[in-house]
């Protein structure tokens, strides 16, 4: 303990110079903590959104392409996408737990005399579970709604607010096209998950798939492109039994669709996206830490510089201590402890300002940040390492001084 107190006294005797020397370490540690917290925050946010899509899901989406558009111009109807035959085929696949289809609602929504262009999906009862939607009022779509082709609907909380304002919507009717559907539930998108089309379920209407298929043919006017389209299913979710075989299952589904539908589909696998994102994030963190390490290198050079200057300024002190019986190892330890002390103090202030900087970035800029124990403890370890690595040469230089020459130096 005495040697640390002595080290602090010696550093305080040149306080301003010691402070300037520690700045490189302080800024290096700040950079590491802030960059790692930003990277970790971004990683948590992106990975949570991918995981929310379901890492045991394969998502198939119907898409329009140039070829199908050309056929539409020639025949006056746009036919593309996933069909009922695909659903039946996927059920026969190995490693498939369930198949969940969905279809866009391509009809105008009415309440009273007002019309709305809300997005909607015709779904089965499993769809809400896929998107982890929570029922806040009433109930969700159930199997018996599809079996009995009930004309009911579940609406997002933002639609409730926009259409019904302060009314209780349960039991009231909205019209899809000309057909009335009774509101039986309100859902909330608590995890912020969007559909594969980028829609927020809070701003959508959901109806039983079989009810919608019974009321409306596959053909209908898509007002977004002002063209009659013939699409059976816009989405099909394949929930797998074993994620370790999900890549094979996805490739098999893609090969099948390529034979049947050419290029009128997209396949996305959240599990594979998750792996890719984690790999990209690791690379990002390595690059960010490498950039921050440059500041630490500059700080380490500063430590070597000031400690070397201390050796030459304290020749007489070293000579007196050697003359009074101090061994080379005592001089080496004294100067090494001083180097470690200045690095540790820089690391301590760097951690404090780094944590504060991460919080400020989150509050002011709005970026998600996450301060990890690894970054904080790692900063202290790096501080000690800098003191040892860059303080060894000056300490060795002081220890090997000839005490006679040192006493004659002044």
Residue 75: predicted pLDDT: 55
Does residue 317 surpass a pLDDT of 50?
yes
Q: Alpha-carbon distance 196 to 149, whole Å? A: 26
User: For residue 283, what are its two tokens?
Assistant: 């690379």
Q: Alpha-carbon distance 112 to 220, whole Å? A: 23
**Please, are residues 201 and 131 in contact by the beta-carbon 8 Å criterion?**
yes
Instruction: Give pTM, 2 decimals.
Output: 0.64
Q: Alpha-carbon distance 307 to 309, whole Å? A: 5
Q: What b/e string do you get for 303-312 counting C-beta neighbours within 10 Å, with b at 16 or more?
A: bbebbbebbe
pLDDT, one tens digit per residue, over 366-402 is 777 888 787 788 777 877 788 778 778 777 777 776 6
pLDDT, one tens digit per residue, over 226-269 is 677 778 899 999 998 888 888 899 999 999 998 887 778 888 88
Residue 150: predicted pLDDT: 95
Nearest to 271 by CA among 60, 99, 57, 40: 57
365 pLDDT band, cuts 50/70/90, is: confident
Residue 72: predicted pLDDT: 47
Tell me what the pLDDT averaged over the chain comes to: 81
Does residue 121 surpass a pLDDT of 90?
yes
More confident residue, 388 or 203: 203
Residue 131: predicted pLDDT: 85
Our separate counts of H helices and E strands in the chain read: 14, 15
% residues pLDDT > 90 (the chain): 26
Q: How many residues does the chain have?
A: 410
Ramachandran region of residue 151, left (φ > 0), alpha (ψ -120 to 50) or beta? beta
% residues pLDDT > 70 (the chain): 85
Q: Sign of torsion, CA 278 279 281 282? A: positive
Residue 117: predicted pLDDT: 87
Strands (E), 241-319: 265-268
**Please, are residues 57 and 238 in contact by the beta-carbon 8 Å criterion?**
yes
Ramachandran region of residue 372, left (φ > 0), alpha (ψ -120 to 50) or beta? beta
Q: Alpha-carbon distance 68 to 242, whole Å? A: 35
Q: Alpha-carbon distance 60 to 131, whole Å? A: 15
From the CA atom positions of the chain, what is the Rg in Å? Answer: 34
220 pLDDT band, cuts 50/70/90, is: low
In three-state secondary structure terms, 54 is coil
Instruction: Say which range, 89-98, 174-183, 264-273, has the weakest mean pLDDT.
Output: 264-273
pLDDT, one tens digit per residue, over 53-94 is 677 889 999 887 655 444 444 456 777 888 889 999 999 998
Q: Alpha-carbon distance 30 to 39, whole Å? A: 14
Instruction: Say which range, 22-36, 145-159, 187-201, has the weakest mean pLDDT.
Output: 22-36
Residue 6: predicted pLDDT: 64
C-alpha distances out from residue 225 to 6, 51, 64, 107, 208, Å: 79, 33, 11, 13, 25
What residue spans define the domains of the chain?
2-50+276-408, 56-269
- Burial of residue 382, with CB atoms counted within 10 A of its CB: 0-12 exposed, 13-18 middle, 19 or more buried: buried
């Amino acid at each position: 303990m005495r040697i640390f107190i002595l080290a602090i006294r010696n550093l305080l005797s040149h306080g301003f110079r010691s402070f300037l020397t520690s700045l490189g370490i302080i800024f290096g540690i700040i950079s590491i903590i802030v960059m790692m917290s930003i990277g970790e925050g971004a990683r948590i946010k992106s990975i949570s959104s991918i995981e929310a899509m379901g890492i045991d899901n394969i998502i198939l989406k119907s898409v329009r392409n140039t070829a199908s558009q050309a056929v539409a111009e020639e025949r006056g109807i746009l036919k593309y996408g996933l069909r009922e035959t695909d659903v039946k085929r996927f059920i026969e696949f190995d490693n498939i737990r369930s198949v969940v289809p969905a279809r866009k609602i391509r009809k105008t929504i009415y309440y009273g005399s007002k019309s709305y262009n809300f997005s909607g999906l015709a779904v089965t009862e499993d769809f809400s579970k896929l998107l982890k939607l929570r029922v806040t009022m009433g109930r969700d779509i159930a199997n018996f709604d599809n079996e009995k082709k009930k004309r009911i609907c579940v609406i997002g909380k933002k639609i409730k607010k926009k259409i019904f304002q302060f009314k209780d919507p349960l039991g009231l009717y909205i019209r899809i096209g000309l057909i009335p559907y009774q509101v039986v539930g309100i859902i909330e998108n608590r995890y912020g998950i969007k559909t594969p089309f980028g829609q927020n379920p809070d701003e959508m209407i959901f109806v039983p798939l079989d009810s919608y298929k019974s009321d409306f043919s596959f053909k209908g006017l898509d007002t977004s492109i002002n063209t009659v389209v013939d699409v059976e299913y816009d989405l099909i979710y394949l929930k797998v039994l074993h994620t370790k075989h999900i890549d094979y299952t996805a490739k098999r589904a893609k090969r099948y669709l390529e034979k049947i539908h050419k290029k009128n589909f997209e396949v996305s696998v959240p599990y594979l996206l998750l792996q890719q994102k984690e790999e990209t994030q690791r690379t990002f963190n390595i690059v960010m830490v490498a950039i921050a390490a440059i500041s630490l290198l500059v700080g380490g050079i500063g430590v070597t510089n000031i400690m070397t200057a201390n050796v030459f300024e304290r020749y007489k002190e070293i000579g007196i201590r050697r003359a009074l019986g101090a061994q080379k190892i005592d001089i080496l330890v004294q100067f090494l402890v001083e180097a470690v002390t200045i690095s540790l103090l820089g690391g301590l202030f760097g951690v404090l300002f780094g944590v504060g900087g991460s919080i400020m970035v989150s509050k002011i800029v709005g970026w998600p940040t996450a301060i990890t124990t690894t970054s904080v403890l790692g900063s202290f370890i790096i501080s000690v390492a800098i003191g040892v690595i860059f303080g060894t040469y000056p300490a060795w230089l002081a220890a090997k001084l000839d005490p006679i020459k040192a006493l004659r130096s002044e």
